[in-house]
Structure 1
Amino acid sequence: MSTPATRDPATPLWRGVVLLRVVTWAFALGVVIVHRSEFQRAWLAWAVVGAMGGWTLVSGLAYLREGGRWRWLVVLDVVLTTGLMLLSPFILSPTQYAEAAPLITTVWAAVGPIAAATRFGAGGGVLAGLVVAIGTGIARERLDLDVFRDGVLLCASSVLIGMAATTARRSAEALALALRTEAATAERERLARSIHDSVLQVLARVRRRGMKVGGEAADLARLAGEQEIALRALVTTEPSWAVASNGTADLRSALQLLATPSVQVATPAGTVDLPAHVTSELVAVTREALSNVEKHAGPDARAWVLLEDLGGEIVVSIRDDGPGIPEGRLARAEADGHLGVVESIRGRVRDLGGTAALDSAPGRGTEWEVRVPNTPVPNKSGPNKALPNKTRGRR
């Protein structure tokens, strides 16, 4: 059974298509009854209106079922509608043509483009409307103001219906995403309360007691403190790799999960939504820089990660208070085949169209400043404000 989240939001429009087709077929039937004696081939008129009635039943039963709105069926709908309309020259008499009598399909022919607009959107509806309009001109054997008027009305109505169907589907996707986010947030808050009352309190107690005892217990206390910070970050931030429907991911929450007792992360208050691959690459760059701090700056070194959203670009700064990098060391590492800095940091940033500047000297630590263009994201409320410049100098 379909759930509300999986139902087609355009279902009311499909019901309208079915109802319109029944009404227009009844109108076409009435026209045939009234003008039955004027046709040059009355039997063919009855055959066409019978085929129209059969297709009205078949397509109506299919369109009322969400599993029956196949693409090929909608295309066949437009083709069959146009084909039946092209039989008009074999049915209408010369007198009827001279009096500009309605074609055998009358307004029933307009339902095909509306169905196409409901299924494919405004573009598909306009294309179907043009096909039917061209068929109308061929069936009338002339191109006059009436034919152009019918074409404009078909295309305009298809645009309106197509836009309504597309808007309904996008709104339903946004609502479903909001509901999933709300449910995930509620579950995370519930887990956070449970963890705070149990695991976090135990880790905090172990950390305090271990620091008082000293020795090996102090090492355990340090590990407990790291796990406490990591666990707090995990239960208090949004899922870092939750990709939204527009293909974006929040860089802010992803970087916050890198915080440890020796690594402080400062981010804007709001989300920093970027294309998912950009977020992934910037997190990888930050991890690589922090890994270098751990390897080369010593166990007591501290690091700071600062994220800034400047509107037109994103800036990620990674600083440490280690001994710094001696001049020429990176060149020697690259010559020896150690390409961590060149490929993992500068190469990744270069592929994103950004820059990675390294500032380091013996005795004053190391700073990476990574800048990448901020790709506009749909539905973004606006750029987050950058943190004050004095934050960047904090140690």
Structure 2
Amino acid sequence: MERSDAPNSVNHSHVNSTTPLWRAAVFLRIVTLPFAAVGVAVNLDDYIRPELGLIVLAVMAVWTVITSVLYLQPAKRTDALVLGDLMLTQALVLASELVLSPAQLDESVTPLVTTIWAPGAVVVVAVHRGPLFGVLAGMLAAVTNILPRGYLNIDLARDAVLLLGVGFVLGLASKTARHSAEQLRRAVRLEAATSERERLARMVHDSVLQVLARVRRRGAELGGEAAELAALAGEQEVALRALVSTAAQEPNESDEIDLGVGLRLLATSRVEVSVPATPVSLPVTTATELLAMVKEALANVVEHAGPNASAWVLLEDLGEEVILSVRDDGVGIPPDRLAQAQAAGRMGVDLSMRARVLALGGTLVLETAPGAGTEWEARVPRVDDRARERKP
């Protein structure tokens, strides 16, 4: 289903992007109403129920005023109003069978009471709901245009094709306008975020980074406890440089982000991160869960691998799946250590790592031995969230 301009389903960018089309739809209704009025005036004497013809014309005029006022207000463009417009218009078209004489209905040269005013409802549906619903509305309008006459000729077939074409073309234009507005919104937000990041990077470089660098150098010269502070300052300096140098990102059209960007932010003097040069785009949920898994693994390195342990994070993109490895050169994990931790109620590995990967449809493999370090390897298929929800 295409996105509508109803207030509960769009934002202001979508409203603004289709506003010119709504104005055009209103203008079409207004300019076709006098044409229908002239048609009624010319054929009124030949109608079998001229008073009903005048009533239909009056309803058309009143409805044109009502819809013109409502359609020019974005908050009023609801599904109910558009559907009501389509149904009322088709009812007025069918009423022509009670107004025109049998001879007029047999002559395709005599227009129905609504004449070219009626396709305005198809235009509205197409602008509101896109090409699919525009075509469906065109099909409905084509059928109701044929029913009063009871036959199909070349003129009525031509009108049917035009109605279908109007529904598709204007629906496609509406969808394209929304897509363009969304792209522009993303670009503006990304540019604003990048500019703000560059401004903060200049401020941080002129103050915090210089201080951290000085603490690191001076602490290393003093030695002892100052050397420990120097090491901590060095780690924070590396992390902060990675933070301010990494470009901001937003989910793309498929609601995906580059996992490599998040992983680069985890690099420190003790953690080396290696990711592909090209973006590794994954659904937001998948990328978020994998980042959380890596953070938990790195936290375990700090807490259990030893004071001098280093870690390496490697991301591989195999197309159908991604492989994410976290390896350290620490003391390793004793054979029964994880089982003892689980029995003691410490569920960090099971909940923060293994459960996350399994929820993504992947596998998590551990390779470790006392004194030989630890390596976690997660393999996760590249599927979007909707496909995962459909998976049993």
Task: Please indicate, yes or no, whether the TM-score normalized by the shorter chain is above 0.5.
Answer: yes
Identify the residue that residue 349 of structure 1 maps to in structure 2. Answer: 357
Which residue does the alignment assign to 1:38? Answer: 46
Q: CA deviation at 1:211?
A: 0.7
1:280-330: CA deviations, max 9, x gaps? Answer: 110111112112212221111110111222222111110100122233433
| Aligned partner of residue 17 in structure 2, secondary structure | coil
Listed one character per residue, the Cα deviations across residues 28-49 of structure 1 (whole Å, up to 9, x for unaligned) are 1221222222111222222222
One-letter identity of the residue aligned with 1:165: S
1:246 Cα deviation after fit: 3.8
Q: 1:131 aligns with which of 135, 140, 149?
A: 140
Larger mean CA deviation between 218-227 and 149-158 belongs to 149-158
CA displacement 1:80-113 (0-9 Å, x = unmatched)? 1111112112210121122233211112111101
Q: Distance in 1 between matches of 2:368 and 2:68?
A: 72
- The verdict on how the C-alpha distance between 1:164 and 1:6 changes in structure 2, with shifts beyond 3 A counting, is closer
Distance 2:112 2:290 in 1: 63
- The answer as to 2:122 corresponding to 1:122 is no
In structure 1, how many angstroms separate the alpha carbons of the residues matched to 2:283 and 2:335?
Answer: 36
User: What root-mean-square deviation, in Å, do the aligned CA atoms of Structure 1 and Structure 2 show?
Assistant: 2.3
Aligned to 1:299: 307
1:231 aligns with 2:240: yes
The residue that corresponds to 1:104 in the other structure is 113
Which residue of structure 2 lines up, in the alignment, with residue 387 of structure 1?
none
Map 1:184-263; keep pairs closer than 5 Å: 184-239=193-248, 242-244=250-252, 246-263=254-271
Q: Does 1:282 align with 2:290?
A: yes
Do 2:14 and 2:178's aligned partners in 1 also have CA atoms closer than 8 Å?
no
Residue 17 of structure 2 corresponds to which residue in structure 1? 9
Which of the numbers 67, 70, 88 marks the counterpart of 2:75?
67
Does structure 1 retain, via aligned residues, the 8 Å contact 2:215–2:230? Answer: yes
Cα offsets for 1:222-250 (capped at 9, x unmatched): 2211221222122122347x545643233
Confirm or deny that 1:370 pairs with 2:370.
Answer: no
- Note the C-alpha offset of 1:137: 3.3
TM-score of the aligned structures, taking structure 1 as reference length: 0.87
Q: Aligned equivalents of 1:254 and 1:10: distance in 2?
A: 36
Question: Equivalent residue for 1:314?
Answer: 322
Residues 327-346 of structure 1 mapped to structure 2, 5 A cutoff: 327-346=335-354
- Structure 1's unaligned 5+ residue stretches are 378-395
User: SS of the residue aligned with 2:326?
Assistant: strand
> TM-score, normalized by length of structure 2?
0.88
Distance 2:344 2:211 in 1: 47
Give the Cα separation in 2 of the matches to 1:337 and 1:227. 32
Q: CA deviation at 1:163?
A: 1.0
Pick which of 65-74 and 216-225 moved more.
65-74
Matched, 1:158 2:174: no
Secondary structure of residue in 2 paired with 1:36: helix
Separation in 1 of the partners of 2:12 and 2:351?
47
Equivalent residues of 1:302, 1:320 under 8 A apart: yes
Equivalent position amino acid for 1:175 in 2: L
Q: Determine if contact 1:177/1:245 at 8 Å carries over to the other structure.
A: no
Deviations 1:320-379 (A, max 9, x none): 0012223343344445544433333222111111111212223321111111112379xx
* SS at 1:307 equivalent: strand
Distance 1:374 1:13 in 2: 39
Q: C-alpha displacement at 1:173, in angstroms?
A: 0.6
Q: Percent identity?
A: 50
Distance 2:256 2:248 in 1: 12
Do the aligned partners of 2:32 and 2:116 also contact (CA within 8 Å) in 1?
yes
Offset of 1:150 from its aligned partner? 3.3
| Residue 88 (structure 2) aligned to one of 80, 84, 89 | 80
* Secondary structure at the counterpart of residue 314 of structure 1: strand
User: 1-side partners of 2:302 and 2:235: how far apart?
Assistant: 14
Structure 2 residue corresponding to 1:268, chosen from 271, 276, 279: 276
* Aligned AA (1:140): R
Shift of 1:184: 0.5
Number of aligned residue pairs: 374
How far residue 276 of structure 1 moved from its aligned partner, in angstroms, is 1.2
**Structure 2 match to 1:170:** 179
The 5 Å alignment of 1:49-64 reads 49-64=57-72
Aligned partners of 1:86, 1:76: CA distance in 2, in Å?
15
State the match for 1:93 in structure 2: 101
After superposition, give the CA deviation of every residue in 1:196-244 in whole Å (9 maximum; x if it has no partner). Answer: 011100110011001100122112212211221222122122347x545
CA distance in 1, matches of 2:47, 2:14: 49
Query: Mind listing any 5+ residue stretches in structure 2 that lack a counterpart?
Result: 1-10, 386-392
For residue 356 of structure 1, give the secondary structure of its aligned residue in structure 2.
strand
Change (3 A) 1:304 1:10: same
Secondary structure of the equivalent of 2:323? Answer: strand
> Residue 129 and residue 4 in structure 1: after superposition, are their counterparts in 2 closer, same or farther (change >3 A)?
closer
The code of the aligned residue for 1:125 comes to G
CA contact (8 A) 2:283 2:384 kept: no
